[in-house]
Structure 1
Amino acid sequence: MLFTRASFVIALATSAVAAAPLERRWGGWGNWNHDGGRPWWTPSSSYLDFGKRFPGADSNAPICDLSQAVMPTAPTPLPAPAPGLSLSHVAIGRGTQNYTCDITNATAIPSAVGAKATLFNVSCLAADTPALLARLPSIALDLPIPSSDGDDSSPAYQDISGHHFFLDATTPFFDLDTTLHQYGTGQFKKANSSAAPSDAALGTNGQGFGSVTWLKLDAKDAAGQVLQEVYRLNTAGGQPPKTCQGMAAAFEVQYSAEYWIWAQ
Structure 2
Amino acid sequence: MLFSQASCLLALTTVVAAAPYEKVEKRWGGWGGNGRPWWTPSSASSYLEFGKRYPGSNTAAPTCDLSQAVLPTAPTPLPAPAAGLSLSHVAIGRGTQNYTCDLTNSTAVPVAIGAVATLFNVSCVAADSPDLLAKLPGIALDLPVPTTDNEDSAAYQDMSGHHYFLDASTPFFNMDTSLHSYGTGAFKKTNTSSAPSDAPLGQYGVGNGSVAWLKLDAKTSDGQIFQEVFRTLTAGGNPSKTCTGMPAAFEVQYAAAYFLFEKP
The TM-score bracket by the shorter chain reads 0.7 to 0.9
| Aligned equivalent of 1:13 | none
- Give the match's secondary structure for 1:64: coil
Aligned-residue CA RMSD in angstroms?
Answer: 2.6
| Aligned equivalent of 2:55 | none
| Aligned equivalent of 1:119 | 119
Q: Structure 2 length as normaliser, TM-score?
A: 0.79
Q: Deviations over 1:57-111 (max 9, x none)?
A: 4234653100111110011100111111110100000000000001122321100
| Aligned equivalent of 1:79 | 79
Q: Deviations over 1:137-158 (max 9, x none)?
A: 00000111234443888x6665
Q: 1:152 to 1:42 in 2, by over 3 A?
A: farther
Question: Aligned to 1:58, which of 15, 32, 40?
Answer: 40
- Give the match's secondary structure for 1:231: strand
Paired residues of 2:170 and 2:188 also in contact (CA < 8 A): yes
Paired residues of 1:106 and 1:243 also in contact (CA < 8 A): no
**Deviation at 1:209?**
0.3
Whether 2:67 is the aligned partner of 1:67: answer yes
Identity %: 66
Paired residues of 2:91 and 2:123 also in contact (CA < 8 A): yes
Paired residues of 2:21 and 2:152 also in contact (CA < 8 A): no
Paired residues of 1:149 and 1:160 also in contact (CA < 8 A): no
| Aligned equivalent of 2:189 | 190
- Give the match's secondary structure for 1:132: helix
Q: Deviations over 1:211-253 (max 9, x none)?
A: 0000000000022311100000000000000000000100000
Q: 1:123 to 1:42 in 2, by over 3 A?
A: closer
Paired residues of 2:114 and 2:171 also in contact (CA < 8 A): yes
| Aligned equivalent of 2:164 | 165
Alignment partners' CA distance in 2, 1:42 and 1:222: 36
Alignment of 1:191-206 (within 5 A): 191-206=190-205
Q: Which runs of 5+ in 2 are unaligned?
A: 28-38, 42-59
| Aligned equivalent of 2:150 | 150
| Aligned equivalent of 1:214 | 213
Alignment partners' CA distance in 2, 1:202 and 1:184: 32
Aligned residues: 227
Alignment partners' CA distance in 2, 1:151 and 1:206: 33
> Which structure 1 residue ranges, 4+ long, deviate > 4 Å from structure 2?
48-52, 155-158
Q: Structure 1 length as normaliser, TM-score?
A: 0.79
Q: 1:79 to 1:96 in 2, by over 3 A?
A: same
Whether 2:213 is the aligned partner of 1:231: answer no
| Aligned equivalent of 2:90 | 90
Q: 1:252 to 1:49 in 2, by over 3 A?
A: closer
